Amino acid sequence: MHESNVWAAWTLRSHDVLTGALPPGLGLRDVAALTLIASHEGCSADWLWNRIGLTQSGTVRLIDRLEKLGYVARARQGRAIRLSLEPAGTAALATWNERREAAAAEALGGLSDDDRRQLNDLLGRGLRATERARDAADATCRLCDWPACERCPVDESVGQAR
């Protein structure tokens, strides 16, 4: 087995299963925005844009669409516009988290419990080994169920120098 081939195949299989789990009508950037807004209540579009991989104008259009769907609310606070989830956005995010868990179970289905624990430990070690800035860490965890992660290896990778 060639390491990079195995890694690439595993990564693509995981991506395919993950994107197949998306709630109807939502894309990866949609659920990323919902996830980040939920975990950083009151964030701004300026804070959000580089964490979801869009331009500022693309992020505003995404927020416009999520607002029209009833998922996101804007509130003015001084000169800033703060974002929060509406109940429908919270429900969509809960659906995403449930579907993501099922996708992970499917992708990991051929592994024993011990294999899963070992893989989780190895992946966590790899994630900790890459020093990153706070915004890059947030971007890495943009599809995560933040409250479920007690000891986040990505959070532990955030460096002080950046």
Count Cβ neighbours within 10 Å for each residue of 21-36 and write b for 16 or more, e otherwise. bbbeebebbbbbbbbb
- Looking at the chain, the whole-number percentage of residues with pLDDT higher than 90 is 86
The confidence score (pLDDT) of residue 121 equals 94
Write out pLDDT tens, residues 24-46: 999 999 999 999 999 999 999 99
Model confidence at 114, in pLDDT bands (50, 70, 90)?
very high
Where are the domains positioned within the chain?
A: 3-155
Write out pLDDT tens, residues 52-107: 999 999 999 999 999 999 999 999 888 888 999 999 999 999 999 999 999 999 99
Rounded Cα distance, 55 and 46, in Å: 10
CB 21 within 8 A of CB 102: yes
pLDDT score of 17 more than 60? yes
Residue 72 backbone phi and psi in degrees, to 5: -130, 145
* Right CATH for 3-155 from 3.30.950.10, 1.10.10.10, 2.60.120.580, 1.10.3720.10: 1.10.10.10
CB 160 within 8 A of CB 132: no
Average pLDDT, the chain: 93
